[in-house]
């Protein structure tokens, strides 16, 4: 059976459904009135309330309230999850040894218990992010300027990782800071920190902020720091030619 769901099961039936789901390495979803206790790096206790409990096939164990994006309490993948029935009361436990911690859910009453065995082998494809911009620059360096040559990506410095380190047509070192969205003064300050790492460099070093647009105060700060700006929009569609999805104006300040 690929999917099973029952409304208002008693404690024994909830126990059976959860154990069946665990044995099949299913995704288990329970709507229940429950209380939660945690012991490990700290201690916490959550009184009775209506919540959603999710156990995934990788051992992830989460308790969600009816608000906020994050679970109110959780255990990470590879946790050991088990169900037990004590004096007619249903318990769920997720634990791990390193670090030693234990999350226990006491189910007072169950509104819905279900499990699902799906097939999903796809990885998430991302577009419109800095990584896409890095790929575009390495695939077609002239979108920065004629003669530009990228050397390193994610170049490590004491002040963080430079998106792209390269050289221009004259052999000058070039530091590129990429932003997939409108860049503000924080992006300029971040670029300036990278430039400071080359303060003792004997040759001239250029710093270029690459983003779809910049705020007015960011533009002013670029001029103050004598840094440059190039307008570039990351690709927004999957499977599209990188050169055609680039909105490059060649502008610099």
pLDDT at 127: 52
**Domain CATH code at residue 166:** 3.40.1350.10
pLDDT at 241: 45
* Residue 253 domain-assigned (yes or no): no
The contacts of residue 25 (CB under 8 Å, 6+ apart) are 57, 117
Q: Which single residue is written with the structure tokens 């400071």? A: 196
Report how far residue 140's alpha carbon sits from residue 156's, in angstroms, rounded to the nearest whole number.
Answer: 23
Q: In terms of domains, do 102 and 148 share one? A: no
Q: In terms of domains, do 9 and 104 share one? A: yes
- Tens digit of each residue's pLDDT, the chain (253 residues): 789 999 999 999 999 999 999 999 999 999 999 999 999 988 999 999 999 999 999 999 999 999 988 999 999 999 999 999 999 999 999 999 989 999 999 999 999 999 999 888 776 555 557 888 999 999 999 999 999 999 998 899 999 999 999 999 999 999 999 998 999 999 999 999 999 999 888 789 999 999 999 999 999 999 999 999 999 888 765 554 444 333 333 344 3
Q: In terms of domains, do 18 and 73 share one? A: yes
Q: In terms of domains, do 190 and 88 share one? A: no
For residues 48 and 30, the answer to whether their CB atoms sit within 8 Å is no
Phi and psi based region of residue 99 (left: phi greater than 0; alpha: psi -120 to 50; beta: remaining): beta
For residues 211 and 185, the answer to whether their CB atoms sit within 8 Å is no
Q: In terms of domains, do 63 and 35 share one? A: yes
Question: What is the token pair recorded at 205?
Answer: 């070093």
Report the number of distinct structural domains present in the chain: 2
Round the CA-based radius of gyration of the chain to a whole number and report it: 27
Question: What is the token pair recorded at 150?
Answer: 């990228």
Spatial CA neighbour of 78 closest among 100, 95, 102: 95
67, 85, 116 — which closes off a domain?
116
Global pTM reads 0.56
Q: In terms of domains, do 16 and 106 share one? A: yes
**What would the pLDDT profile of 170-200 be if each residue is shown by its tens digit?**
999 999 999 989 999 999 999 999 999 998 8
* Residue 252 domain-assigned (yes or no): no
* Residue 204 domain-assigned (yes or no): yes
Q: What range does the domain containing 175 cover?
A: 130-231
């Amino acid at each position: 059976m690929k999917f099973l769901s029952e409304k208002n099961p008693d404690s024994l039936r909830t126990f059976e459904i959860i154990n069946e789901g665990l044995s099949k390495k299913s995704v288990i979803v329970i709507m229940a009135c429950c209380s939660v206790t945690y012991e490990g790096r700290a201690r916490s206790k959550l009184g009775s309330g209506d919540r959603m409990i999710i156990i995934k096939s990788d051992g992830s164990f989460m308790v969600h309230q009816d608000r906020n994006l994050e679970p109110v309490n959780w255990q990470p993948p590879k946790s050991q999850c088990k169900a037990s029935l004590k004096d007619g009361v249903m318990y769920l436990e997720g634990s791990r040894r390193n670090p030693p911690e234990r999350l226990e859910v006491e189910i007072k009453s169950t509104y819905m218990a279900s499990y699902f065995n799906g097939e999903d082998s796809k990885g998430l494809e991302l577009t419109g992010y800095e990584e896409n911009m890095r790929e575009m620059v390495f695939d077609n360096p002239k979108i920065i300027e004629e003669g530009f040559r990228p050397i390193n990506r994610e170049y490590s410095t004491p002040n963080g990782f430079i998106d792209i380190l390269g050289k221009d047509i004259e052999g000058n070192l070039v530091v590129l800071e990429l932003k997939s969205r409108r860049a503000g003064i924080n992006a300029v300050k971040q670029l300036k920190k990278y430039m400071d790492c080359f303060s003792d460099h004997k040759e001239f070093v250029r710093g270029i902020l690459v983003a779809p647009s910049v705020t007015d105060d960011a533009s002013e700060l670029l001029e103050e720091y004598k840094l440059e700006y190039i307008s570039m929009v990351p690709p927004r569609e999957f499977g599209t030619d990188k050169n055609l999805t680039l909105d490059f104006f060649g502008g610099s300040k």
